[in-house]
Amino acid sequence: MEHTGMQIARLAPAEALAALDSSAAGLGGAEAARRLGEFGANRVAAAARQPAWLSLLGEFIHFFALILWLAAGLAFTAAWMQPGEGMFELGLAIVGVILINGGFSFWQSYRAEQALAALEKLLPQQVKVRRDGREQDIAADQLVPGDILLLAEGAKVPADCRLIESWSLRVNLATLTGETYPKARSEAAEPAGAVDPLAAHCLLLAGTLVVSGEGSAVVYATGMRTEFGHIAHLTQSTGDTESPLQAEIRRVSRLLALLALGLGVVFFALGQAIGLNFWVNLMFAIGIIVANVPEGLLPTVTLSLALATQRMAKRNALVRHLPAVETMGCATVILTDKTGTLTQNRMAVREWFAGGRHHLAAEHWPAAREPHLRAVARFCHSLKFTDGQPSGDPMEVALWQFAGELPMDWKFAGEIAFDAERRRMSVYSRAADGSGVLLCKGAPENVLPLCTTWLAGNTSRPFDAEAREAYRVAHEDLASRGLRVLACAWKPLAVDAAADEENLALCGLIALEDPLRPDVREAVGRCHTAGLRVIMVTGDHPTTGLALGREADLIRGATPRVLTGDEVRRMSAAELQIALDAPEILFARVSAEQKMLIVQALQAKGEIVAVTGDGVNDAPALRLADIGIAMGLSGTDVAREAADIVLLDDHFGTIVNAIEEGRAVYENIRKFITYILTSNIPELIPYLAFVLFRIPLPLTVIQILAVDLGTDMLPAIALGAEKPSPDIMQRPPRPRGERLLSGGLLVRAYLFLGPLEALGALATFFFVLHGFGWQYGETLAIGDPRYLQATAACLMAIVLAQMVNVFVCRHPRLPAWHFPLFENRWLLAGLASEVALMAVILYTPWGNSLFGTAPLPLAVFLYALPFALFLGLAEEARKWFIRRAPASRAAVPPGSR
């Protein structure tokens, strides 16, 4: 019994009913129940998804976490074999780090996929059908093939169906095709060669909206078998794409974890070779691993992205997935929809041609000017009114509003309905004496042949060859600019004369458009300046798209390449990639699958693709793209749920603001990675000195964790909250292959800043020991007050140096004093948190017990301070030399020197 849409469309109404084993009286109740069991409920089936518990488990078994589990396992083993050495507490601390990191990451990244629910919401919940010869309301999910649907203006179509009867029926297909203009639908069968169900005049498709008229139709497809279900399947089967930031963080995490594990193994072997006690050596190896695994990296990245989402929300961009923040910053191409994204998603009169000349809609229209054209615009419609406000076809609403208030001397008497063959509609009215008037509007090629005269004001003139040519030229001029052109005509009706559409008087042409958003040209200009390519992908006609592309400044050249969806479908992947090399290109009449092909072709070329959209048809491409951007006001629930970012104001300019924030995020992440990695060296070198020079261990593992997850956290977040630099949108997007953890960053952190911090930390450690009279070779117990104060001094020196380091890390080239201190309130909070945490660790019994420290006198702080200041001066000197180097000056963007 299953039939494709086009098979049904080619049949006459009676033949379609017979093919579906139905009738005009509808199915019987028993047969409907049997078919429901066979075909299933009329709903979108859920795709298999990973359970939440499995996602949570994944946060604790990735490579980064496994290294820490290994370290915790070794610590617990050591505590079991040799209790009382603090290894059990260390194991607990490491497990706590794993749980906090994993839980936080899961909480931030977890999202309940709502795309399915959104798809179901788009379909009506109750529908009117004819069963057993009578009308009844049933739940939409109970529809089956063969049911007779009864539809009227304002109804959402719940399943794919074929019209049996229709009266002036028009539907809006925007959710499936992206095209705004309502389409006429009638029961006439399609010709044998027709292949596209979206264009079939006798088919109504699930998810579309009846904007005017009414009709009855037989259902031929439900649930996932509908065109709507097919798009839903594409959305579900398109997996989430890993963002560039996710890929880089994964690479950095693996690299640092392998480095930590490798160093731990190497130095454990070294300790064994020189005869170090096994358990002491094991503790040493664990310390090496913990010192080189930046435990605060993942939560700091996550918190930095979360802060960026708050900034973007203030700029009307709602971020649904955290990594999308940074992905926006490296976007190289924006694939933008036309309707609702570049335009306002509403019809408006742009221009009219009457009396032999063009008029802009903004011109003042005196009541006496072109009264007949105005009457057609005001009264030739099938609108419904509630409290004086019209509803129905957006085009007719726009005409009604454009004409303004007019007196009506006749009473409505009837309508010659619009249909796909005639492509026009007429209404006629009668006065009390039986005389009247007929008003007609429609496609110029269908109305002009019916006209014998044309009107210039109230003067009637013959519609001769010269006049026809003038109107033909005007029509072509308006259409070439992407406007929807309607011809308006009228004629008086004699008493009791038939209301026919012959011998009309042409009143004029009215051109409508979906207006461009006011801020689009400026936003597109900023994209060009930022090195971003903007490509329009629309479901509208190529001429309409090209005209709007020029108006929006997307198209500047004389010969852009324009490809239709059919041409894209016939192209091989290689051909499409080559076509995308065109300097300017535009895609029109594009379906959901074809939009996905375009995204894939751009990604194959190494582009990072942002896709905008608002309809159901956009959802698969939104999911596939590196970054999906949906309209929050005009968009469908499906598009919003499939997207990574939702524009709360639907302004294209908000996309550019989001890109600016995204670029700032990447720069800021590099800043705080430099800051975090710097402290790894003063955490590592004390362990090397402990093994190689047989000195007391200057820093314990629990103190390392105090730095990585305590004192360093808020200052690192402060660096992640830095504002975008003024010139950030005057640079091209960064290359896709650019590494977050570059060689220059590692050299700066590990070979320059880190050793300077280590020098100050060890010097301060020995300063305290020698103050107590310690001699080289003397061993100290873990609880010895001298040892507790010395390790506390080493910890304090690292924290003090990091307080200076946070300032010099605000920019890799510009001096610290270039940035006002109070511009970043997070920085002040970070510094205050470091001071507060150090006070707790050094001067409270609880802090002393947990971290193995003792209070320090003022003299120790004064001794460590010059080392911290020296780090700042050395780094500023390095920056000065870099700014002075000719090659560096050439590379620094304007405004950063």
Complete DSSP assignment for 624-657: HSSEEEEESSSS-HHHHHH-SEEESS--HHHHHH
Residues near 649 by Cβ (< 8 Å), separated by ≥ 6? 316, 632, 633
Please report how the helices 278-292 and 680-692 are oriented relative to each other, as an axis angle in degrees rounded to 10: 160
Complete DSSP assignment for 5-62: HHHHHTS-HHHHHHHTT--TT---HHHHHHHHHHH--SSPPPPP---HHHHHHHTTTS
Residue with the two structure tokens 């109740």: 29
Q: Which residues pair with 589 in a beta bridge?
A: none
H-only helix segments in 423-499: 444-447, 465-480
The pair of three-digit structure tokens given for residue 629, joined into one six-digit string: 């951007």
CB 506 within 8 A of CB 455: yes
Diameter over CA atoms, the chain: 125
Q: Buried (b) or exposed (e) across 576-595, using 16+ Cβ within 10 A?
A: beebbeeebbbbbbbbbbbb
- As a dihedral over the C-alpha atoms of residue 837, residue 839, residue 840, residue 841, rounded to 10 degrees, the angle is 80
Q: How far is CA 316 from CA 166, 313, 712, in A?
A: 43, 5, 31
Residues near 5 by Cβ (< 8 Å), separated by ≥ 6? 160, 162, 197, 200, 203, 205, 220, 221, 227
CB 354 within 8 A of CB 273: no
Q: How far apart are the C-alpha atoms of 303 and 441, rounded to whole Å?
A: 59
Closest among 535, 549, 516 to 610, alpha carbons compared:
535
Q: How far apart are the C-alpha atoms of 74 and 57, rounded to whole Å?
A: 22
Q: How far apart are the C-alpha atoms of 574 and 553, rounded to whole Å?
A: 28
Q: How far apart are the C-alpha atoms of 667 and 75, rounded to whole Å?
A: 37
Chain CA centroid to CA 117, Å: 19
Strands 389-391 and 384-386: antiparallel
CB 442 within 8 A of CB 422: yes
Q: How far is CA 253 from CA 63, 66, 259, 671, 747, in A?
A: 8, 11, 10, 16, 18
Reported residue count of the chain is 897
Complete DSSP assignment for 355-368: TTEEEETTS---TT
Q: How far apart are the C-alpha atoms of 180 and 173, rounded to whole Å?
A: 7
Q: How far apart are the C-alpha atoms of 258 and 699, rounded to whole Å?
A: 22
For the annotated catalytic residues, the residue numbers are 337
CA–CA–CA angle 653, 655, 660 (5° rounding): 100
Q: How far apart are the C-alpha atoms of 222 and 79, rounded to whole Å?
A: 64
Q: Buried (b) or exposed (e) across 284-302, using 16+ Cβ within 10 A?
A: bbbbbbbbbbbbbbbbbbb
